[in-house]
Amino acid sequence: MQALLTAAIVLACACYATWALMPVSWRRRVANRALSVPQLAGMGWLQRAARRGGACGCDGCDGPPAGASKSSTSGAAVQVITLHPRRPAPARSQSGHEDPERERGHRQAGEHQRP
């Protein structure tokens, strides 16, 4: 019984890995064929896989982006990308502490400073 359960779990994992790593065109073809089986026709995830048009799965490759505007020179859709800069990480001192107050405390406690 344990071996049968293990085999079922391994088979399910193998099917999932195959489905996830399969090219989208193959996945769409398999989903369309599986939808012809009446018992599988009601599965929503299978219906979504059969009708997806984009390669990334965002359903946006078949039309222009939502925030796109027409460029005056070429007529192609242009989408503005906003970049958010990160704050730099605090610099570490010579003793390896991030806090300069703690650094001063170590110096006052008897650590020698080179002139």
The backbone torsions φ and ψ at residue 48, rounded to the nearest 5 degrees and listed phi first, read: -65, -40
Could you tell me the maximum CA-CA distance found in the chain, to the nearest angstrom? 85
The boundaries of the domain holding residue 24 are: 2-78
DSSP-assigned beta bridge partners for residue 78: 69
Say if 107 falls within a structural domain.
no
Say if 11 falls within a structural domain.
yes
**pLDDT tens sequence for the chain (115 residues):** 999 999 999 999 999 999 989 998 898 889 888 888 888 878 888 888 888 665 555 555 555 555 555 555 555 667 788 888 888 887 776 666 555 555 555 555 555 555 5
**pTM, 2 dp:** 0.42
Say if 97 falls within a structural domain.
no
Say if 113 falls within a structural domain.
no
Say if 91 falls within a structural domain.
no
Number of domains in the chain: 1
Burial class of residue 103 in the structure, from the number of CB atoms within 10 Å of its CB (0-12 exposed, 13-18 middle, 19+ buried): middle
